[in-house]
Amino acid sequence: MEIVHTPVLLEETLQLLAPRQPGELMIDATVGEGGHSYAFLSRFPDLRLIGIDADQEIQEVAKKRLKVFGERVHWYTGWSHDFFADSSNEKPDTILIDLGVSRYHYEKGSRGFSFLRDEVLDMRIDRTQGPDAAELIAGLSEKALADLLYTYGEERYARRIARSITEAKSRGRISRSGALADIIARALPLRYRGSIHPATRTFQALRIAVNGELTHLQELLKRALEMLKPGGRMGVITFHSLEDRIVKHFFREKGTDYTSSQNQPIYEYKRSGKRVNVPYRKGITPGALELRNNPSSRSARLRIAEKVVDG
């Protein structure tokens, strides 16, 4: 079994989310190939774990990898926010949410996640749900596509790229990742060449839109915190500013009690009654050694929250 993904901020995650009592339950809400889960189960022999992923294909890789841990591991195939919505599930002591897309999807998934490969332009994590990226592009107007690229990709040349894609659509369906990457590259000026590929932000925007990532994230954070035991900890690893902003604001909101009324629309903040403690306000980023060994970790940030009370 070939493992292609390297888990980021692994040592920091192991230290900050380490179990405090024997027999604790941890939920890896985005298990991927099981890198973080394997490390936790190996280091903490009394830990139990539930691995969740919406992609059945990559979950099978994790199942084979974690088979050695036997009955300590259980599985849920589907979106994490759906799992956390089921109040009959056991409340966990720890929740880990790694929002990065596994390198498996880029190198083994054959779904058009990578602009460096010529694959079917799909981009769905769960291929039982649609539309895929090609269908999304086909159905969007030039303005709607530009808005999507700007909002989800923070792409400064969104209008120019959307215009080129729309012109290419008039000549036929764009169904391959390689063709889309070429259209984007030709749409941009030569000076727009930096440390990232010119198609990076467009592919990010399409992937986010296809999978509803930001909508899912807000629901996931809410439901995960509701299920987490008081005193339990939740760690979230983000990889771009859009999702990190959502996590930061969620933890900040839950870290401060507030009240409001119809006559007082401005929130009155108090010092007590917090839902969570946030020990590292700016989050934790990779150190120099990890950045050197795994350059793809450069945008990663780990945010931790400890639940204080239910609600």
What whole-number distance in Å separates Cα of residue 39 and Cα of residue 19?
13
Confidence of residue 283 (pLDDT cuts 50, 70, 90): very high
Q: Are strands 25-28 and 94-98 parallel, antiparallel or unpaired?
A: parallel
The answer, yes or no, to whether residue 17 has pLDDT greater than 70, is yes
Of 105, 102, 128, residue with least CA distance to 117:
105
Q: Are strands 48-53 and 73-77 parallel, antiparallel or unpaired?
A: parallel
Note the pLDDT of residue 129: 82
What whole-number distance in Å separates Cα of residue 278 and Cα of residue 112?
37
The answer, yes or no, to whether residue 28 has pLDDT greater than 80, is yes
Q: What is the CA radius of gyration of the chain?
A: 21
What whole-number distance in Å separates Cα of residue 224 and Cα of residue 97?
10
Note the pLDDT of residue 128: 84
Greater model confidence, 107 or 93: 93
Which of 66-70's residues contact partners 24+ apart within 8 Å by CB, and which partners? Answer: 66/34, 66/37, 66/38, 66/41, 69/41
What mean pLDDT do residues 102-122 have?
Answer: 82
What mean pLDDT do residues 54-63 have?
Answer: 92
Q: Are strands 233-238 and 48-53 parallel, antiparallel or unpaired?
A: unpaired
Domains in the chain and their CATH numbers? 10-102+217-307 (3.40.50.150), 110-211 (1.10.150.170)
Per-residue pLDDT reduced to its tens digit, 225-278: 999 999 999 999 999 999 999 999 999 999 875 444 444 433 343 444 678 999
Q: Return the axis-axis angle of helices 56-66 and 35-43, rounded to nearest 10°.
A: 20
DSSP state of 112: S
The tokens describing 147, both together, are 């808005």
What whole-number distance in Å separates Cα of residue 219 and Cα of residue 237?
16
Confidence of residue 1 (pLDDT cuts 50, 70, 90): low
